[in-house]
Amino acid sequence: MASALIRSRILSKASRTNKPNSRFFCSNKESTISSQPIISDLSAAAGEAPAQAVGSSENKAWSFFKYGIVGALTGATAFAGYASYAWMKWRKKTKALRESVNYTAGNDASNVERYQGLLYSTAMTVPAKAVELYLDMRRLLEEHVKGFTEPASEKLLPDLHPAEQHVFTLVLDLNETIIYSDWKRDRGWRTFKRPGVDDFLQHVGKFYEIVVYSDQLSMYVDPVVERLDTNHFIRYRLSRSATKYQDGKHYRDLSKLNRDPGKILYVSGHAFENSLQPENCVPIKAFKTDDMGEVPLDTALLDLIPFLEYVARNSPSDIRKIIRGECKNRGSKVASGIVEAQG
């Protein structure tokens, strides 16, 4: 009886000591498991926060840089215009002051008048020289600003060889005409060739002097053209330094090409928007990728070949008259219209 009582007390004590230990491990396990997703969420959030902050700062910096460049170029253009106007205005207004340095009394003047004239001429020397210095500095500043707004040279292309005076010059825009480039932060730049561009260059290169004229920087134009035209059908490439900056935009100035204006054709997906000579423009559909980023079916360049070949073989005296007439009658369907009209 006594042994049974002792046994029951030992089991009761053991059960009381084991129950708290069981609850402790269970609570520890539960707390550990429940804390795992919280920790991972916090780490993910901590990783995303700096990435979002970096992305936001990069976007702000790029926007600030872009608008800063546009503002600077616009301001330079406005300042150049004002400087030119003010320089001529001040030159006219200060003409009398600058000429007063050379004042001399007449032969019949008295000694007093001659002495007064000498004093007046001497007194006006310093102001006149100061005005001359100001006008010279303004002229130099104006010439410096023109370096950013005007084409780099009055003759962007070298003279044609005498045996090639009959050859037409085909000027091609780059982006959205024979290639398309876009940029995204997650993958960078992608450049696509327009379908048929290789056959187009090979065929029209037999008849035309081909020039690429872009408003992009030369550091972009040169490597793109080198990879695009491995057979060197493109004779010359002109970049942003050859454009005219006007009203906040870079325009192609075909009058600076050192070629007969009646033998220049400018082909572009935005021909009338970025050229100062619309009478030389042959517009085609702008080339872009679709919403999925894929190159669509496009035959615009190949469709242009019959018209260009016809012009080269028949050599009209002034291509501008034909383009002007077709643009007036048929809008933007210049190429097909000329072929039908002449055929």
Length of the chain: 343
Whether 305 has a pLDDT exceeding 80, the answer reads yes
* Cα angle, residue 333 at apex, residues 327 and 335 outer, rounded to 5°: 95
Tell me whether residue 290 is exposed, middle or buried, using C-beta atoms within 10 angstroms of its C-beta: 0 to 12, 13 to 18, 19 or more.
Answer: exposed
What pLDDT digit, counting tens, does each position of 219-272 carry? 999 999 999 999 999 999 999 999 999 888 999 999 999 999 999 999 999 999
Place of tokens 């018209």: 307
Buried b (16+ CB within 10 A) or exposed e, 190-208: eebebbbbbebbebbbebb
Average pLDDT over residues 47-53: 47
* Cα 56 from chain centre: 24
Is there a contact between 114 and 103 (Cβ–Cβ < 8 Å)? no
The percent of residues above 70 in pLDDT, for the chain, comes to: 51
pLDDT score at 103: 55
Query: How much is the pTM?
Result: 0.58
| Res. 292 pLDDT band, cuts 50 70 90 | confident
**Residues near 211 by beta carbon (within 8 Å), at least 6 away in sequence:** 157, 169, 170, 171, 172, 234, 235, 236, 237, 238, 257
Whether 200 has a pLDDT exceeding 70, the answer reads yes
- Strands of 201-243 (E only): list them: 208-213, 234-238
Separation CA 73–CA 20 (nearest Å) = 79
- Of 278, 279, 295, residue with least CA distance to 287: 295
pLDDT score at 302: 95
Is there a contact between 177 and 194 (Cβ–Cβ < 8 Å)? yes
What pLDDT digit, counting tens, does each position of 68-123 carry? 776 666 665 555 555 555 555 555 666 665 565 565 656 666 666 665 666 666 66
- Strands of the chain (E only): list them: 168-172, 179-184, 188-193, 208-213, 234-238, 244-246, 249-251, 264-268, 281-283
pLDDT score at 332: 45
Separation CA 149–CA 246 (nearest Å) = 7
